[in-house]
Chains A and B, each alone.
Chain A
Amino acid sequence: MVSRAAAAIRTRPRREREAEVLVWPDLVFIEFISALIFSIALMVLSAMVNAPLLNRADPDTTPNPSKAPWYFLNLQELLLHMEPAWAGVIVPTIALVLLAAIPYWDRDQEGQGVWFGTKFAGRLTVFGFTAATLITSLLIIWDGSLHVVWTENVIRGLGLNSDFAWPGGLDWFRNLRGFDTGIPWDSLGFTIGGFTMFDDWRAIPLGIPGTTTDPWLLNLNFPSFLSQQIIPVATMVGLPVLFVLFCKMLGWIHTRRDIALLIFSAFIGVYLTTTIVGTAFRGQGQDLKPPWDIVVLEE
């Protein structure tokens, strides 16, 4: 009895003995040399750069900024732009599950065993990586309100208006939180079938009717629900979809492997950008700063 997964696999008909080399010495030699190079390189690095050791841990003195280890700073970066439950737990979990699921979705055996096995693989990789890096950087700049600072500085600097300030009417475009305060939600309210927008979003009765006189109220905390959950999630789902549609339009996508290449490359771009920004560009109060301006204060 052969399982379905095993039956779907095409096997290579013959062993090409003449194309094979012996593991000893060919492979063992390479492994030995690479291990040697890494040992020497790490030994030299360790002789030159000391592992950091700060003051003894003190729960009463908080460093500002406080940062997780560098490999989690991508998540800490997400934390600044959305609800903590999404940034710290749900997004990474979904990302890892999707990552693990790639081979169960892209099951075609064509293109395995060679670098960038499809016709447009190179373009998809470069586009996915570059576009994702660029868009992520722009989104971070926007949510850090750097565009506000830059616009004000440029207009003041050019002498057009020496006390120019970001117009109040554009407060909603300052950053993600701007959607909460910059839009007059109360005056935009309306009613659908006894459900008042947006006040009723703050207390949605849940629970089985009739079982309790005091239903459990779900507080969706409206404007913040929009800016901290709906918009970030829509961005994280929508941008990859747009990427795929755009590349389909260009005729670069023909197989699932192409989609996987595009999305994986974009993922690597986002992963790297958020890690680098979180590591090198976040100063006190997690404000965006160039690396040379970052000082850690103990408070």
Chain B
Amino acid sequence: MANLERAPRKSFNDLIYDLIFKNYVWQSIFRTGYPNTPRNQMLAVATNVFLHLHPTRIHRTHVKITHTYCLGGLSFFMFLGLTVTGVLLMFYYVPSIERAYQDIQELEANVRFGQLLRNMHRWMAHAMIILVLLHMMRVFYTGAYKPPREFNWVVGVVLFILTLLLSFTGYLLPWDQLAFWAITVGTTMVGSAPVLGDESKFLLLGGFSVGPNALIRFYTLHVIGLPLVISIFMAVHFWRVRRDGGLARPL
């Protein structure tokens, strides 16, 4: 009866499963299998660099879609998407007034999925502004700015301003009539400030009107300066959500 002691033959599916998930390389990346016990599920969140922004447990009411509509998370998701599409756009774009417009035209005409890439970046930027505004309304109408979350509301207002500035600096880059005159109108408004108006405008444009200096300034702010600043504020924002006890809920 020695046959009974032999392990049953593996099915084809099991073989494939083991080949993919139980090999040396896979297990060097994901040390454990799918977390199917509560303890492992909490560990999966706490020990994963991407997931550990979350707490391991969360109040039941906060996973209801109608409580947050995922607006804050989606704003962040838009930022991530904009970073990815933005980096790809940088391969094709040179911020000089001789080349900028032509580069966009060539991106649309000659680059595979170039038009789609640009569209994604554009519509994601608009979506991000709308989502940030809606997120602010959600936080306000659920009274989630109340103590101890006062400071995080202020950080949120700063993030809103930075989002607008990121979008505004990106608006000039295609160097078409829409971009040029929108930035001209926008910076003229800055120039009307009662104190340091002309100085701020000059600082922003690197001159008295929109020209090559303005383009390189807006580009630098758009692709590195403001993203760095907004990343810092986002880190504080998310950290404070955790530190202040997660999402607000009734006492």
B70 touches A56 (CB 8 A): no
Q: A38-B77, A57-B177, A57-B179 are in contact. Are A51 and B122 (CB under 8 A)?
A: yes
User: B101 to chain A: which residues have CB within 8 Å?
Assistant: 56-57
A297 CA to B61 CA in the complex, in Å? 53
Stretch of A62-70, A163-171, A180-188 with 4 or more beta carbons under 8 angstroms from chain B: A62-70
Which secondary structure characterizes the binding site on chain B? helix
Mark contacts of A259-293 with chain B using CB atoms, 8 A cut-off: 1 yes-contact digit, 0 otherwise. 01100100010000000000000000000000000
**177-192 of chain B: CB within 8 A of chain A:** 177-182, 184-186, 188-190, 192
Does A113 sit at the interface, judged by CB under 8 A? yes
Does A210 sit at the interface, judged by CB under 8 A? no
A36 CA to B182 CA in the complex, in Å? 33
Give chain A nearest CB distance to B77 CB in angstroms: 5
A38 touches B57 (CB 8 A): no
Pick the contact of A59 from B123, B129, B174, B210 — CB < 8 Å?
B210
User: A214 to chain B: which residues have CB within 8 Å?
Assistant: none
User: A53 to chain B: which residues have CB within 8 Å?
Assistant: 104-105, 108, 174, 176, 178
User: A191 to chain B: which residues have CB within 8 Å?
Assistant: none
Give chain B nearest CB distance to A28 CB in angstroms: 7
Pick the contact of A19 from B59, B168, B186 — CB < 8 Å?
B59
**181-205 of chain B: CB within 8 A of chain A:** 181-182, 184-186, 188-190, 192-194, 197
Give chain A nearest CB distance to B174 CB in angstroms: 6
Category for how many chain A residues contact B: 35 or more
Does A22 sit at the interface, judged by CB under 8 A? yes
A294 CA to B1 CA in the complex, in Å? 91
A68 touches B63 (CB 8 A): no
A96 CA to B208 CA in the complex, in Å? 27
Mark contacts of A104-126 with chain B using CB atoms, 8 A cut-off: 1 yes-contact digit, 0 otherwise. 10111111111111000100010
Does A8 sit at the interface, judged by CB under 8 A? yes
B73 touches A103 (CB 8 A): no
Mark contacts of A1-33 with chain B using CB atoms, 8 A cut-off: 1 yes-contact digit, 0 otherwise. 000011011101000110111111111101100
Return the chain A residue nearest B148 by Cβ.
A9
Does B140 sit at the interface, judged by CB under 8 A? yes
Does A155 sit at the interface, judged by CB under 8 A? no
Mark contacts of B83-123 with chain A using CB atoms, 8 A cut-off: 1 yes-contact digit, 0 otherwise. 00000000000000100010011001000000110111111
A71 touches B251 (CB 8 A): no
Return the chain B residue nearest A268 by Cβ.
B137
Which B residues form the contact surface with A (CB < 8 A)? 35, 38, 41-42, 44-45, 51, 54-63, 65, 67, 70, 73-74, 77-78, 81, 97, 101, 104-105, 108, 115-116, 118-124, 126-127, 129, 137, 140-150, 153-154, 157-158, 161, 164, 167-168, 171, 174-182, 184-186, 188-190, 192-194, 197, 209-210, 245, 247-251
6 contacts between A and B (CB under 8 A): A34-B77, A51-B121, A56-B101, A87-B192, A90-B194, A111-B146
